[in-house]
Amino acid sequence: MASWLATVRRINTHNVSTFRRAPLAEISGSLGDLGTLLPLMIALAVQGSIHLGSTLVFSGIFNVVTGVIFGIPLPVQPMKPVTCASNCRDANRISVLQAIASAAISGREDPSMGVVTAAGQWVGAAVLIMSVTGLLHWAVAAVPIPVVKGIQLGAGLSLIIGAGSSLVRPLHWVHPALDNRLWAIVAFLVLIATQRLPRFPYALCFFLLAMVFALAQVLTSEHSLPWFHVWRPRFSLPTWVSKHDAPALWMAIGQLPLTTLNSIIAVSSLSSDLLPELPAPSVTSVGISVALMNLTGTWFGAMPVCHGAGGLAAQYRFGARSGASIIFLGLVKLNLGLVFGETLIDLLRQYPKSLLGIMVLAAGLELAKVGYTLNQGAPDLWQASADRERSSGIVRMHRKLTDEERLERWTVMLTTTAGIMAFRNDAVGFLAGMVCHWAYRLSDWLGKRRLRRSGSSTERDPLLR
């Protein structure tokens, strides 16, 4: 216990020092995940599948706790973002959805609050069992790095396609005046111009601009501004099983592979890539965190949430380098939920899709870029060896790959990504990548067996020597 408290103190010393050194960057980075959070949260709140106030309060608490314990910009976001334009009733409004909400919004499953929250609890219970039994730790050892990189690359490309097809492309060029393609072009040009300025608070600047636009839209329409509305906890009874079926269970089964792969395994690996100077959270700790979040807040109608690789990439892209960023975001969410709650829906619905789409695109680019380190700097390529000249320690060396090995790893990664993009399903991409990996291993085994047989035949027959 004492060692754990010492670790937490050390983490929060880093949080405080980072925030003091670059407060605008941390605040800007905290807003980087809005492109994943806002579309889904608004959609589910409007149709009554979640309580907006409870979602803001509990996700804010989870943000604060996550920042304090992990010390990195680990997001609290809707479960695993995947592109969902064709299945949704309003493709112009929804850009990236997770499997549970996709089923609820599309009408394929019962969209009631009890079913949505029960699905989150099913996932939370399954992830908790996998965490405490060691199955998640085993999965990390069993899943090769090229497959993990392929999942990250596929998720990044899905975000990019979703931003273009569901947010930016449906817009007109000049109408409406505060949300059109021209504003998307301006946001994109500023994003490109400032990509070598890591301290420029891009997300913060465009978030403030977007809120000004949203307020202007509300004031010029029949919608109402947010007003003082103290949050009161309301118990929401989950509907685990209905009269004739168990829709929550089926929604959870579709969500579980996505949460396990992208929100636990991939996010742990990504944190090592983006923040190598900080201790990466273990898959077990991330899994327990995901489980506890979904086994607590959902009882009050809060949205099922998790930690996602896309959100981590987005917050890193816009300047976040410590847990201080999400602690700040959590405090903002908590106060908004406690003071305004459900009255924020009209304002959030007017958030410009042009500016939101570019933020989603930037997050996708940041996540997709991790594929670059597949053959240079990936975790499985570093090996420890005893230094004979200096007996005092161990030297880490980067294993050199042959051209054949490079091509094999690249092929496995692209096969994984292709499965995700073709079927819009991380589980399919994962299976495709693993089959490709096993095919290479089988080929190696057969090749070695042929060599052994040919060697033994040469020893038996002197004429073949």
pLDDT for position 461: 61
Per-residue pLDDT, averaged over 265-282, amounts to: 90
Does the residue 442 lie in any domain?
yes
Residues 170 and 126 in one domain: yes
Comparing C-alpha atoms, which of 336, 355, 342, 54 is closest to residue 214?
Answer: 355
Percent of the chain with pLDDT over 70: 87
Instruction: Using pLDDT thresholds of 50, 70 and 90, give the confidence band for residue 81.
Output: very low
Q: Please say which residue of 320, 339, 366 terminates a domain.
A: 366
Per-residue pLDDT, averaged over 366-373, amounts to: 88
Residues 357 and 409 in one domain: no
Residues 313 and 406 in one domain: no
Is pLDDT at 413 greater than 90 in this prediction? Answer: yes
Q: For 90-123, write each residue's pLDDT tens digit.
A: 333 333 344 555 555 444 445 678 888 898 999 9
Share the mean pLDDT of the chain. 86
**Pair 267, 312: CB distance under 8 Å:** yes
**Pair 294, 124: CB distance under 8 Å:** yes
Residues 429 and 318 in one domain: no
Give the domain range for residue 151: 1-83+98-366
Residues 285 and 429 in one domain: no
Is pLDDT at 324 greater than 50 in this prediction? Answer: yes
Q: Please say which residue of 339, 366, 393 terminates a domain.
A: 366
Residues 313 and 193 in one domain: yes
> Among the listed ranges 108-117, 220-229, 297-306, which one has the minimum average pLDDT value?
108-117
Does the residue 181 lie in any domain?
yes
**Pair 290, 298: CB distance under 8 Å:** no
Is pLDDT at 67 greater than 60 in this prediction? Answer: yes
Does the residue 178 lie in any domain?
yes
Write a three-state SS string for the chain.
CHHHHHHHHHHHHHHHHHHHHCHHHHHHHHCCCHHHHHHHHHHHHHCCCCCHHHHHHHHHHHHHHHHHHHCCCCCCEECCCEECCCCCCCCCCCCEECHHHHHHHHCCCCCCHHHHHHHHHHHHHHHHHHHHCCHHHHHHHHCCHHHHHHHHHHHHHHHHHHHHHHHHCCCCCCCCCCCCHHHHHHHHHHHHHCCCCCCCCHHHHHHHHHHHHHHHHHHCCCCCCCCCCCCCCCCCCCCCCCCCCCHHHHHHHHHHHHHHHHHHHHHHHHHHHHCCCCCCCCHHHHHHHHHHHHCCHHHHCCCCEECCHHHHHHHHHCCCCCCHHHHHHHHHHHHHHHHCHHHHHHHHHCCCHHHHHHHHHHHHHHHHHHHHHCCCCCHHHEEEEECCCCCCCEEEEECCCCHHHHHHHHHHHHHHHHHHHHHCCHHHHHHHHHHHHHHHHHHHHHHHHHHHHHHHHHHHCHHHC
Q: For 238-257, write each residue's pLDDT tens digit.
A: 888 776 667 788 778 877 88
Residue type at position 325: S
**Domains of the chain: total:** 2
Comparing C-alpha atoms, which of 56, 85, 8 is closest to residue 339?
Answer: 56
Per-residue pLDDT, averaged over 20-47, amounts to: 88
Residues 108 and 187 in one domain: yes
Instruction: Using pLDDT thresholds of 50, 70 and 90, give the confidence band for residue 271.
Output: very high
Does the residue 377 lie in any domain?
no
